Amino acid sequence: MEIFIFDLSLLLVGAAVLAYLAVIFKQPIIMAYILCGFLIGPWGTKWINHIDFIETISHLGITLLLFLAGLCLHPQRLIKLFKSAILATSANCVLSFIIAFLFSLCFHFPLLDSICIGLALMFSSTILVVKLLPTTALHQEKMGGTCIGVLIMQDLLAIAVLVFMRCLDAPQGAIPSFSLLSLKLCLFIILLIAFEYFVLRRIMMRVDRLHEVLFILGLAWCFGIARISHSMGLFYETGAFFAGVVMARHPVSRFISESLKPLRDFFLVLFFFTLGA
């Protein structure tokens, strides 16, 4: 425990100093976190050698990020974003896949490996793009809305691709396994909507003025549903995203989103540190 606290203190101090320098020199703060991991991690000064535990808890930030992404998506707004972003998303994904696939074949990668490389490189990182996108662009309704819409569509497509790739090694074959997992996902979403409508909504109406309870309730809903989705053979992040979408219809979803953002940012600092380390 003492070693972890010492490592965490070094990490946060280093990240704070480099983030301050990044602000002064007008550089992306993400680069400061990644550089911190490179400098004081196993590849640099080796002040922090054991990053396994930090890497494990840093994935909580990814789960929270997708939960908050879903929490900001009311179904009507989601449909509008999809209409404006579907062409850009399709063109970007298809072109990126073709280029990466052909490039891999030129280096004599096996066909299946080339397909996997193409699928991996046809998506953008939602975390990096949102963090690197200028604030002024996000404030412009058309540009910001289109960018976010493209990222959301890519996230949904990535979930489907990850589920399919996970089924490739299934004993019964990829197609039957993917069909079974798709049915599980549909059942999961239906049960999630029903539970939110008949149970969670009534609980939230009773505690809508108790901010501390809402904060804990949001965390419990996020990680509880993520755990249930994992037990059904899905990904933690998949469950967290749909948990956020289902909760987005409630009036207090905005408060829960704002209250969880600092916690998300803390875990994302750990995540970017592990990328550099």
In a domain, 18, yes or no: yes
Phi-psi region of 234 (alpha: psi -120 to 50; beta: other; left: phi over 0): beta
Residues 43, 99: one domain?
no
In a domain, 58, yes or no: no
> Which pLDDT score, from 0 to 100, does residue 18 have?
92
Which pTM does this prediction carry? 0.75
HEC string of 188-241? HHHHHHHHHHHHHHHHHHHCCCCHHHHHHHHHHHHHHHHHHHHHCCCCHHHHHH
Residues 73, 31: one domain?
no
Number of domains in the chain: 2
CATH of the domain at 214: 1.20.1530.20
- At 179, list the tokens: 């069909």
Q: Report the candidate in 210, 211, 202, 201 with the shortest Cα–Cα distance to residue 259.
A: 211
Task: Show the DSSP H helices in 72-200 as ranges.
Answer: 75-106, 111-121, 126-132, 135-139, 141-166, 174-195
Residues 21, 44: one domain?
yes
In a domain, 252, yes or no: yes
> Which pLDDT score, from 0 to 100, does residue 134 have?
55
> Which pLDDT score, from 0 to 100, does residue 137 have?
43
Residues 19, 111: one domain?
no
Residues 151, 121: one domain?
yes
Residues 42, 77: one domain?
no
User: Residue 32: which domain range?
Assistant: 2-50
- At 132, list the tokens: 């690197």
- At 138, list the tokens: 């996000």
In a domain, 74, yes or no: yes
Residues 167, 239: one domain?
yes
Q: Which residues contact 126 (CB under 8 A, 6 or more apart)?
A: 65, 69, 151, 154, 155
Q: Which residues contact 236 (CB under 8 A, 6 or more apart)?
A: 59, 63, 226, 227, 229, 230
In a domain, 171, yes or no: yes
> Which pLDDT score, from 0 to 100, does residue 21 have?
93
> Which pLDDT score, from 0 to 100, does residue 266 have?
86
Residues 150, 106: one domain?
yes
Residues 46, 87: one domain?
no
> Which pLDDT score, from 0 to 100, does residue 220 have?
92
In a domain, 57, yes or no: no
In a domain, 56, yes or no: no
Residues 187, 108: one domain?
yes
> Which pLDDT score, from 0 to 100, does residue 116 have?
81
Instruction: Provide the 8-state DSSP code for 123.
Output: S
> Which pLDDT score, from 0 to 100, does residue 130 have?
61
> Which pLDDT score, from 0 to 100, does residue 139 have?
46
Residues 28, 78: one domain?
no
In a domain, 59, yes or no: no
Residues 131, 231: one domain?
yes
Residue ranges of the chain with per-residue pLDDT less than 50:
135-141
